[in-house]
Chain A
Amino acid sequence: VRPIRTIDGSAEVNEVFFDEVVVPAENLVGEENKGWDYAKFLLGNERTGIARVGVSKARLARIRQLAALEEVGGRRVIDDQRFRERLAMAEIELKALEMTQLRVVADERRREAEGKPNPASSILKLKGSVLQQVTTELLMDVVGPYALPYVPDEGGRNDEPIGPEYAAEAAPTYFNWRKISIYGGSNEIQRNIIAKAILGF
């Protein structure tokens, strides 16, 4: 197992090498040669969960708190009309996504008999990933210059934070969250799925 360092400084992914590893037959999950079916089912559910409306809500609430602490031009960031409108726009899109998710979940109940994931779950991935990224961008914009210091994730260190404590995670989170529109089937793949399964191209 070889850790892979990502652009936010963490190492949450790894390269894993298998070299003639013997696996006992009872470790086979489900039936033989059905792996792709299981994976597709998993991916359909992953897309529903991947919208992460709750995570974005929590981050927007955090942004609202921090925007009341940070100042720009002698005023709180939260009192800046342009900032408030950016925040409002993110909330509106998130509310819309929350409603879309509820619609998909309600529809999922109806579809359960068929056992097929709703292709509309691709919308959740597409929109949810972009909104998560929007919130990380807003967070970084709120903290301003103290987004800059880089503290490598080396474990065991307990240094005095540079600048406000909440600032340290802003840029790494922004960097790390770029993955959201790439994994779980990239957003371009989601568009292909919607084009084929819903629009009939």
Chain B
Amino acid sequence: MDFDFSDDQRLLKDSLDKLVADRYGFQQRREHAAGPDGWSRAMWAQFAELGLLGVTMPEEYGGFGGGAVESMIVMEAFGRALVLEPYLATVVLGAGLVAEAGSAEQRREILPAVAAGKRLLAFAQVERGSRYDLADVTTTARQASGGWVVDGQKGVVLHGDAADLLLVTARTAGERHDRDGVGLFLVPAGATGVTRRGYPTQDGLRAAEIAFAGAAAVPVGPPGGALPAIERVVDRAIAALCAEAVGVMQAMHGITVDYLKQRRQFGRAIGEFQVLQHRAVDMYVALEQARSMALYATVMADAAEPSERRRAISAAKVQIGQSGRHIGQEAMQLHGGIAMTMEYVIGHYFRRMTMIETLFGDTAMHLANVASSGSLFLA
């Protein structure tokens, strides 16, 4: 297996490393967060200028035609810097759904605008009680006077407060948990019948509760059969989150090791104590295992066979969840009291890592997935 990046991918990684080093230090991040949106429009414009928003989009829509590897490179760098901007919501999920399920016209209309940084998207999927089940949809879509209208409540819509366009899962037929009858609909966030309540999330990002009351909507893909496309995009989003998590873990581990070397107690650097060295090593092993599985998720994100893809993605999310808890909790403990303060960086990484686990299925759910889907090795 070849783990070397292509020249273009290496360039992408270098420019991202430079970007986060120059523009996304801890103090700069605080300034980005202090803006009216809770993130920085100026940074977003810079992402667009650097081509980051279109890196995974087809070239015909103003993108660079990249795929899962490019997505991994971006997300890992964003994880290291705890980037606040709506990249996952707009590019990975929103544009991903339009590219996957949208008509040619919808793609032409939306993707170049996203790549240019001029349009923000959000994926309105979670409902009260649905947890992580993508087929558990009670929001409805029905045809009325030549178009579609959507009714229902969506929650924890990532960056839903800033989005211009919402991609909403809604049921056109069947019962609450049926796989058939789930559609995907585009609803302009400012449309009549849409009410939004935005709020900050535990990791310093943003989300919204959104109510739809007879809001006019346009179907994306087959109105009653969008679930397979949604699952493909969500699996790519999970792979992207795994990469982001690796960035977060790498930062937590690096900062903790540096701290152990600097912090003095009992007349020596605490990193001289073997008991702490060994704990730092166990964190490192957990990090490398997580990196391996993020890579595996990246390789498998576009696997043709849905059950094989799902199993691999779930396996990666389990490893990320396990490693993330271990590294996060140890990073907190090895720092001691300073880790508990908002002023210090480590707690912010810990918060993001913890919240990543709750996105698109937690460790318990994904472990149950793997357990019920046969062996990872008998492919």
Within 8 Å CB of A188, what residues of B?
278
- Do A91 and B377 form a contact, CB below 8 Å, given A99-B296, A201-B271? yes
Binds B, one of A17-25, A30-38, A39-47, A100-108: A100-108
Q: Does A61 contact B (CB under 8 A)?
A: yes
Within 8 Å CB of B4, what residues of A?
106
Quick check: B3 and A106 within 8 Å, CB to CB? yes
Q: In the assembly, what is the distance between CA of A200 and CA of B372, in Å?
A: 42
Q: Does A55 contact B (CB under 8 A)?
A: no
Which of A60, A106, A195 contacts B375, CB < 8 Å? A60
Within 8 Å CB of B282, what residues of A?
191
Binds B, one of A5-13, A81-89, A145-153: A81-89
Q: Does A16 contact B (CB under 8 A)?
A: no
Quick check: B280 and A89 within 8 Å, CB to CB? no
Within 8 Å CB of B261, what residues of A?
200-201
Q: Mark A164-201, 1 if CB is under 8 A from B, else 0.
A: 00000000000000000000000010011011001111
Within 8 Å CB of A126, what residues of B?
281, 285
Instruction: Name the residue on B nearest A92 (C-beta).
Output: B315
A-B pairs under 8 A by CB, number: 108
Q: Mark B277-294, 1 if CB is under 8 A from A, else 0.
A: 110111011001111110
Q: In the assembly, what is the distance between CA of A103 and CA of B4, in Å?
A: 10
Q: Mark A130-147, 1 if CB is under 8 A from B, else 0.
A: 000000000000000000
Within 8 Å CB of A68, what residues of B?
none
Q: Does A95 contact B (CB under 8 A)?
A: yes
Which of A81, A103, A123 contacts B371, CB < 8 Å? A81
Q: In the assembly, what is the distance between CA of A198 and CA of B271, in Å?
A: 14
Quick check: B377 and A60 within 8 Å, CB to CB? yes
Min C-beta distance of B334 to chain A, whole Å: 12
Instruction: Name the residue on B nearest A64 (C-beta).
Output: B375
From 65 to 119 in chain A, residues with beta carbon under 8 angstroms from any chain B beta carbon are 81, 84-85, 87-89, 91-100, 102-103, 106
Quick check: B367 and A195 within 8 Å, CB to CB? no
Quick check: A106 and B2 within 8 Å, CB to CB? yes
Instruction: Name the residue on B nearest A84 (C-beta).
Output: B371
Interface size of B by CB at 8 A reads 37
Within 8 Å CB of B295, what residues of A?
99, 103
Quick check: A195 and B278 within 8 Å, CB to CB? yes
Q: Mark B287-309, 1 if CB is under 8 A from A, else 0.
A: 01111110110000000000000
- Do A96 and B377 form a contact, CB below 8 Å, given A85-B371, A194-B281, A194-B284? no
Within 8 Å CB of A60, what residues of B?
375, 377
Quick check: A99 and B293 within 8 Å, CB to CB? yes
Q: In the assembly, what is the distance between CA of A57 and CA of B375, in Å?
A: 10
Within 8 Å CB of A88, what residues of B?
315, 318, 367, 370-371, 376
Grouping DSSP codes into helix (H, G, I), strand (E, B) and loop, the A interface class, with mixed when no group exceeds half, is helix
From 160 to 199 in chain B, residues with beta carbon under 8 angstroms from any chain A beta carbon are none
Q: Does A50 contact B (CB under 8 A)?
A: no
Give the interface residue-count category, chain A: 35 or more
Quick check: A92 and B376 within 8 Å, CB to CB? yes
Within 8 Å CB of A94, what residues of B?
376-377
Quick check: B368 and A85 within 8 Å, CB to CB? yes
Q: Does A120 contact B (CB under 8 A)?
A: yes
Q: In the assembly, what is the distance between CA of A88 and CA of B363, in Å?
A: 12
Q: In the assembly, what is the distance between CA of A57 and CA of B288, in Å?
A: 20
Q: Mark B1-36, 1 if CB is under 8 A from A, else 0.
A: 111100000000000000000000000000000000
Quick check: B292 and A100 within 8 Å, CB to CB? yes
Which of A81, A123, A192 contacts B288, CB < 8 Å? A123
Within 8 Å CB of B370, what residues of A?
88, 91-92
Q: In the assembly, what is the distance between CA of A89 and CA of B296, in Å?
A: 16
Q: In the assembly, what is the distance between CA of A175 and CA of B375, in Å?
A: 26
Q: Does B207 contact A (CB under 8 A)?
A: no
Q: Mark B341-379, 1 if CB is under 8 A from A, else 0.
A: 000000000000000000000000001101110011110
Within 8 Å CB of B378, what residues of A?
61
Q: Mark B240-273, 1 if CB is under 8 A from A, else 0.
A: 0000000000000000010011000000000110
Quick check: A199 and B280 within 8 Å, CB to CB? yes
Quick check: B376 and A91 within 8 Å, CB to CB? yes
Q: Does B153 contact A (CB under 8 A)?
A: no
Quick check: B367 and A96 within 8 Å, CB to CB? no
Q: In the assembly, what is the distance between CA of A19 and CA of B358, in Å?
A: 66
Q: Does B125 contact A (CB under 8 A)?
A: no
Min C-beta distance of B108 to chain A, whole Å: 39
Q: In the assembly, what is the distance between CA of A106 and CA of B377, in Å?
A: 21
Quick check: A198 and B318 within 8 Å, CB to CB? no
Q: In the assembly, what is the distance between CA of A98 and CA of B319, in Å?
A: 13
Instruction: Name the residue on A nearest B370 (C-beta).
Output: A88
Binding site for B on A (CB under 8 A): 57, 60-61, 64, 81, 84-85, 87-89, 91-100, 102-103, 106, 120, 123, 126-127, 188, 191-192, 194-195, 198-201
Chain A to chain B contacts (Cβ below 8 Å), 21 pairs: A57-B377, A81-B368, A85-B367, A88-B376, A92-B315, A92-B318, A93-B319, A94-B376, A95-B377, A96-B296, A97-B289, A98-B292, A99-B293, A100-B288, A100-B292, A103-B292, A106-B3, A126-B281, A127-B285, A127-B289, A192-B274
List 8 tightest A-B contacts by C-beta distance, closest first: A99-B292, A84-B371, A195-B277, A88-B371, A96-B289, A88-B370, A191-B281, A100-B292
